[in-house]
Structure formats: structure tokens, C-alpha cells
């Protein structure tokens, strides 16, 4: 699982799974480019540098193709190559039944949670084709395999991420680019905390803990460990996979 000196982009890196994964990768010697729409990602990068890691921050709205292009360009300008990426940026569900969703709510979820992954993949792959390969990990969700009530827009987007991951893996395997997805269960992140405060979501959340075979929610660092493995040569024969990191949610 050696990732020393590899250059890795992490989106959604200002908090939660992205911040934890960026810190873990940097602690193992990777050079990490943190991307987020929130400028607090700069503070995460500064913390990594204080701990002796190599990290830069690029403010990025992944839903804008030009931002994704600029993110990869900034990475190449700084480090000269791109070895890996964790396309993790996303937004939570609106906690509304389908018929109450507005077109704007639908389009925003698809733009960030699905098109955002496409935008990043496109320019990451262009860079990796030039350098001879790499590994990309996309954040889907357990909701990329099953439906969550009152989350049509989120469920559709995450199912799309799984399909997009498989398509990219099929397109670029011969060029040495591996593309996989992780399917997190409920992870203790600020995004989940916000969802838990929504009265509509709380009705569903009452039984959520029991849906996890381990009878606990996950930690952001546990996601980071899975991502680190997928970015390393330890997973060299794994591509096109959608891997649950969900405490047994999908198994039960």
C-alpha cells in the first residue's frame, strides 16, 4: 500500500471523509491537492503542512467543468504529474419525496453529485493518459445500490456514479487507468449531522443504526483507509468495482 510521493487530488476535502482521507494520504507520503468549494479547505491543507505533509488547496466547484479543468492544471503546474484522485465532493439529499422536489433541487444534486464526478474524471483521465496511468476512486454511496426514502435525487445521482465508474474503467483499463467506486454507509461527517437534524430524515434515521450489521456508524478515517488501498498498487487487479464500506448495510 505504498503511496509515497504519489500526487493525488482529493475533492470535497474541507471536511468529513475528504479531509480525513487527505490527511491520511499525506501522512503516508503522498502529495495531496485538496479541492473544495469552501475556503476552509485551505485550513485543512495548512494543518497537513504543519504535520510535515505536502498539501495544496485549490478552491473548486466540481459542478463547473472549467473549475475541474483548472484543478487538474494547477496540480500539474505544482507537481508535474497526477497519479491518483479521490472524487468525493457531494451534497446531501433534500429529504423530500419525489413529487415535492423542485426542478432546481433535482438539477443541483445531479450537477454536484454526478456531473461533478464526470467533470473531474474527464480532466484527471486526460492527465493520466499523458503520464501512463493512475488510479481514481469515486464516492458513491450505499444509495448507489439501494433506494433511500425521500432521496430520489441523491439516489439517482449515486446510482449514476456507479455506472459512470464502470464505464470509465471499461474505457481506460488498457491505458493503465483504474477507476473504482466506494459505497459508504452512514459515516459520522458534518453532512450526515446536517441530515440528522432534518425532521423528515429523522423518521427514516430511527432505524438506520440497525441497518448496519456492525451496529455503529463509520468514521471518516475508515473511508480513508479504503481509498488509500484503492490508490495503491495493492489493489492493482481491481477496477470497475463498487465496493461497500458500509458496516454491513448492503449485506443485511
| Distance (Å, whole) CA 156 – CA 106 | 10
| Distance (Å, whole) CA 232 – CA 117 | 20
Count CB atoms within 10 A of the CB of residue 74.
17
H-state helical runs in 110-189: 116-131, 152-172
| Distance (Å, whole) CA 211 – CA 60 | 34
Q: Which of 79, 154, 172, 204 is catalytic?
A: 154
187 DSSP 8-state letter: B
Picking from 22, 28, 23, the residue whose alpha carbon sits closest to that of residue 9 is 22
| Distance (Å, whole) CA 131 – CA 172 | 13
Is residue 154 among the annotated active site residues? yes
Strand partners, 7: 31
Count CB atoms within 10 A of the CB of residue 170.
12
| Distance (Å, whole) CA 89 – CA 14 | 9
Beta strands in 37-176 (DSSP E): 54-59, 84-87, 134-139
| Distance (Å, whole) CA 55 – CA 46 | 7
Q: Which residues are catalytic?
A: 154
Amino acid at each position: 500500500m505504498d503511496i509515497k510521493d504519489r500526487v493525488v487530488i482529493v475533492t470535497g476535502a474541507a471536511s468529513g471523509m475528504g479531509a480525513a482521507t487527505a490527511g491520511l494520504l499525506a501522512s503516508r507520503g503522498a502529495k495531496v491537492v485538496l479541492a473544495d468549494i469552501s475556503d476552509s479547505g485551505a485550513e485543512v491543507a495548512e494543518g497537513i503542512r504543519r504535520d510535515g505533509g505536502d498539501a495544496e488547496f485549490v478552491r473548486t466547484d466540481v459542478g463547473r467543468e472549467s473549475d475541474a479543468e483548472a484543478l487538474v492544471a494547477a496540480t500539474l503546474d505544482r507537481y508535474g504529474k497526477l497519479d491518483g484522485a479521490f472524487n468525493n465532493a457531494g451534497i446531501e439529499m433534500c429529504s423530500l419525496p419525489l413529487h415535492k422536489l423542485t426542478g432546481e433541487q433535482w438539477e443541483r444534486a445531479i450537477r454536484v453529485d454526478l456531473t461533478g464526478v464526470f467533470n473531474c474524471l474527464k480532466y484527471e483521465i486526460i492527465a493520466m493518459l499523458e503520464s501512463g496511468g493512475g488510479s481514481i476512486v469515486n464516492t458513491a454511496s450505499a444509495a448507489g445500490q439501494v433506494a433511500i426514502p425521500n432521496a430520489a435525487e441523491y439516489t439517482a445521482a449515486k446510482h449514476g456514479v456507479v455506472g459512470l465508474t464502470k464505464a470509465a474503467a471499461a474505457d481506460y483499463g488498457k491505458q493503465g487507468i483504474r477507476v473504482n467506486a466506494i459505497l459508504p454507509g452512514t459515516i459520522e461527517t458534518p453532512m450526515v449531522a446536517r441530515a440528522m437534524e432534518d425532521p423528515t430524515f429523522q423518521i427514516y434515521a430511527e432505524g438506520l443504526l440497525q441497518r448496519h450489521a456492525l451496529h455503529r456508524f463509520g468514521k471518516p478515517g475508515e473511508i480513508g483507509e479504503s481509498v488509500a488501498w484503492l490508490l495503491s498498487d495493492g489493489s492493482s487487479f481491481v477496477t470497475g468495482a463498487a465496493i461497500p464500506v458500509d458496516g454491513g448495510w448492503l449485506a443485511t
